[in-house]
Amino acid sequence: MEGQIKAVNDDYLGFGLGLRTDHFEEVLQTNPKVDWFEVISENFMVAGGKPRYYLQQVRERYPIVMHGVSMSLGSTDPLDMDYLKRLKSLVDEVQPAWISDHLCWSQLGGVNSHDLLPMPYTEEALKHIVGNIKQAQDFLGRQMLIENVSSYISYRESAMTEWEFYSAVVEEADCLMLLDINNIYVSARNHHFDAEQYLAAINPQRVRQMHLAGHSDYGDYIIDTHDHPVVDSVWQLYAKAIERFGPVSTMIERDDDIPALSELIEELNQARQISAETLAGLAIGSLADG
Amino acid sequence: MANLQERQAQMMAFLLAGDDRIVEHISSTELVDGNQRLAIYSNGYRLRLKETLAVDHDILASYMGDEAFDELCNKFVESCPSHNKSLRHFAETLPEFLVEHYAQYPQLAELALFERRLLFSFDAADAEPLANDFLQKLAPEDWPICRFSWHPSLQIFDCQYNVVPIWQELKQEQAPPAPLEQRSRWAIWRNAERLTQFTSLMGVEIALLQSLANGDNLSHACEQLLNYLSEEEIPSFLHSRLQSYISNGMLCLV
Ligand SMILES: [Fe+2]
């Protein structure tokens, strides 16, 4: 069981936060106790000014990972090579620990929905998105992390579960996983599947990062809004994930109603604590077994 | 066999225009049917675009008032889908849209354009501005052949209405002045502290700045100024203006 307790990868960064405009100045002034920052790549794919300045400054103090929201890997539009070139030049400049984007599509015929739209889970869609991920990885010269999205619809033609589709994608494209624990919870509630069954199907060797976030619960369905603190059921699912995957770099996404940095750091410390307690429990368990 | 391209086209047609051919391909559950599920996406689509307009054009929004601005947003979102991966470009055509659809209120398009210019200067490319003492250190024989370039954030904004005073009052949360036909010209740029600034310009300054932007050296720039000033007026005008542009971080070396 040893492999499940220590990190399965050498890139373990610890506990991070999303770098948001509201906190730029405070991060530089106070050097908060955050292990790393995740930046939304698109927010910094601009020519200059404050965004680029703060990114450079924060980059000198903290490890950075880059999270993209618009590669639209699942779209039947060809990959946007101009976008990939601009992304690559930002990657060269920032030298992030890794880069990620989503298991989804966003644009078609050059029109952008600015949303992370789910794929039908079919062989055709699988083959298509795998081809695009391979092409993007070849162009960028590195493995990508692919994140599961929250979804509200499922297509009638889907022939496999989300976790079967997601697992097949990462194996065939030879990419890594950014597991969004909140998204698993949201989609499980919306589509009535068992979130733990999802986790159990994921290959621990592929998991490199986790997202946690808050959502809006409407009873019959949940919307992934990133405007609330992480809820208890998602913390519980996070503990299950740590139990299965061992220490994984974890960050909290907050994109709306952004609170004081100190509040987010407190929430991040909750993740640290849950992770530490879960791992300690496992260690005691494996001692008892041994 | 399912066709991914067709399904994506149906989904997009639903988001953009409410075309319901996608509905039969979406599963319903007891609690939430396919239409309700799809509505989460179409609501989200419109909200996101409207929020972008409200953030980029907050002064226009307070000038128009909530109801009129909301109506503008609805019209713009319906007729101008986003063709860019980044939302920061979504509202780029809003000034043209206002020219076309709000022609009876010409100040609206100019106010929107002013806001877009401010946004452009905010994250335009970086470049080292000239040092404050550049002119003092410039040898007299180098003056005539000296050339400058604009800081990449520098733009000239030319308007027929008093939209800058309108913008300034609204920014201070004060009642804006009545719209007035009143031509004015402004320089907009980002200073060394990365703050966006603007200042009004006289016609002769536009001529000087344009001449510098065209790559003219100072001796050629002076020839342009002869259309506006007498020969004796030019040296002191040139020195005072250049020094002011340089201290403001508006000029760089070529
Ligand atoms: Fe996420």
Tell which B residues from 125 to 164 touch A, by Cβ distance under 8 Å: 125-126, 152-153
CA A199–ligand 1 middle distance (angstroms): 16
Do B54 and B113 have their domain in common? no
Which residues form the domain of A226?
2-289
Both tokens of A128, joined, read 């298509």
From B63, B90, B117, the end of a domain falls on B90
CATH number at residue B156: 3.90.930.50
Mean pLDDT score, B167-171: 98
Do B75 and B122 have their domain in common? no
The tally of domains found in chain B comes to 2
Reduced to 3 states (helix: H, G, I; strand: E, B; else coil), residue B181 is: strand
Residue A283 in this model has a pLDDT that exceeds 90: no
Residue B95 is assigned to a structural domain of this protein: no
Which strand (E) or helix (H) includes residue B234? helix B234-247
* ipTM given for this complex: 0.93
CA-CA-CA-CA torsion sign (B152, B154, B156, B162): positive
Do B38 and B110 have their domain in common? no
The reply to whether residue B126 touches residue A111, judged by beta carbons under 8 angstroms, is no
Do B10 and B72 have their domain in common? yes
Do B15 and B131 have their domain in common? no
Tell which A residues from 82 to 101 touch B, by Cβ distance under 8 Å: 83
Do B23 and B137 have their domain in common? no
From B64, B90, B116, the end of a domain falls on B90
CA A115–ligand 1 middle distance (angstroms): 13
pLDDT value at residue A285: 78
CATH number at residue A244: 3.20.20.150
pLDDT value at residue A7: 47
Do B228 and B140 have their domain in common? yes
pLDDT in tens, A225-268: 998 999 999 999 999 999 999 999 999 999 999 999 999 999 99
From B46, B61, B90, the end of a domain falls on B90
CA-CA distance, A71 to A59, in Å (whole number)?
23
d(CA A124, nearest CA chain B) in Å:
7
pLDDT value at residue B184: 97
Contacts of B27 in chain A (CB under 8 A): 153-156
The tally of domains found in chain A comes to 1
CA A30–ligand 1 middle distance (angstroms): 26
The reply to whether residue B85 touches residue A83, judged by beta carbons under 8 angstroms, is yes
The reply to whether residue B86 touches residue A45, judged by beta carbons under 8 angstroms, is yes
CA-CA distance, B140 to B124, in Å (whole number)?
33
**Distances from the Cα of A134 to the Cαs of A94, A128, A170, A242, in angstroms?**
22, 10, 10, 28
pLDDT value at residue A3: 37
Residue B98 is assigned to a structural domain of this protein: no
Contacting residues for B243 by C-beta, under 8 A, at least 6 apart: B135
Which residues form the domain of B76?
1-90
